[in-house]
Amino acid sequence: MKLKAKRKAFAQLPTPITTLTQYVEGLTVEVKRDDLTHFLASGNKIRKLEYLFQEAIDKGCRQIVTCGGIQSNHCRATAVMCRENGIKPILFLRGQNPPFPEGNLLIDHLLDAEIHWITSEQYAQRDRLMEEFRLKQDHPEGLYIIPEGGSNALGAMGYAQALLELKAQTDLESLEGIFVPIGSGGTYAGILSALEGLGSKVPVYGINVTKTPSEEFAKRIIDILKEMERRFHMPLAEGYAERVRVLDDYVGEGYAIPTAEGLEQLRSLVSKTGILLDPVYTSKCFAGMLDICRKNALRRVLFWHTGGGFSIYAYSERILKGV
């Protein structure tokens, strides 16, 4: 299976798999280590950015604008890749400028990213705001817009490529499930798209870490899949929409608010294996995965570690207290 999209290689690939056979009795967890894709730009976002930056560079863009929350892994990774490629990073961040930046935001500042602070109400219109910002530039054609999380058809190709990488590392059909956190949908869409192209029916469980309803995410993922089929000829088998599984059960109070179960797994996993989860995405997903495996007697699964470790510095008190 050959992907029909260009990419600019940024990430250190392939990322390894760490196999956990004794963390939970009777359960084998293969951990796909996308927390090791890079140092400053570590995590899943860099895979999407490889494709998006290639298009921006091909268009001759010298500025890139994107958006996210105050501790956005995506914005941090985008800013890093901008500086590595001589491009100016511009970030629309939801929230208020704190007196002392921590975690991802500290890195954004160190990278001298241009930051625009917007409210939650404004963030709901983020695509329109970024387009209006582009049109106000002296040379609008020189500014490239990357959507939230890099989650469009082109960005999702990064995870179609990642699934093919995984296929070369493990027996996909031996897996009873692939688990991945969902914050914008592109990572999930890319994984499922490649599985469809391979004719594999391995279930992909998307653990929603936001208050966006699963039905809305499923629609967004299906839209990305359709666009990947149209633009890049990624085949979709009959009934593909029914294979989209997004679960709302593990988000807790909301996005960027850690859960007690997630923080318990964060502390437990790193103390026993040296694998560090983050408090916003992967800890909720890992806790959700263990609950689903227990309820459904699953014995062999893959956990896709999407990184996010820098955010622990913004949540240190909660992590230590467990709340």
Q: Do domains 17-41+151-321 and 45-150 have the same CATH topology?
A: yes
CB 144, CB 63: distance < 8 Å: yes
Q: What is the pLDDT of residues 165-218, one digit of tens each?
A: 999 999 999 999 999 999 999 999 999 999 999 999 999 999 999 999 999 999
Least confident of 87-101, 235-249, 309-323: 309-323
pTM above 0.85, yes or no: yes
Rounded distance, CA 117 to CA 91, Å?
Answer: 8
Residue 311 appears among annotated catalytic residues = no
- Mean pLDDT (whole number) for 77-85: 98
3-state SS class at 11? coil
Q: For strand 27-33 and strand 17-24, is the pairing parallel, antiparallel, or unpaired? A: antiparallel
User: Which pLDDT score is estimated for 322?
Assistant: 79
C-alpha distances (whole Å) from 282 to each of 20, 72, 95, 181 are 16, 14, 22, 6
- Mean pLDDT (whole number) for 282-289: 98
**Alpha helices per DSSP H over 94-152:** 103-110, 120-123, 126-135
Please, what CATH class does the domain formed by 45-150 belong to? alpha beta
CATH number 3.90.950.10 given to 17-41+151-321: no
Which sequence spans correspond to the domains of the chain? 17-41+151-321, 45-150
Rounded distance, CA 28 to CA 26, Å?
Answer: 7
Which entry of 72, 184, 193, 283 is annotated as an active-site residue?
72
Name residue 239's amino acid. G
Q: How far is CA 322 from the centre of its chain?
A: 24
CB 172, CB 166: distance < 8 Å: yes
- Mean pLDDT (whole number) for 45-63: 98
- Looking at residue 168, the DSSP 8-state letter turns out to be T
CB 107, CB 40: distance < 8 Å: yes
**pLDDT of 321 strictly over 90:** no
Rounded distance, CA 93 to CA 123, Å?
Answer: 8
CB 59, CB 50: distance < 8 Å: no
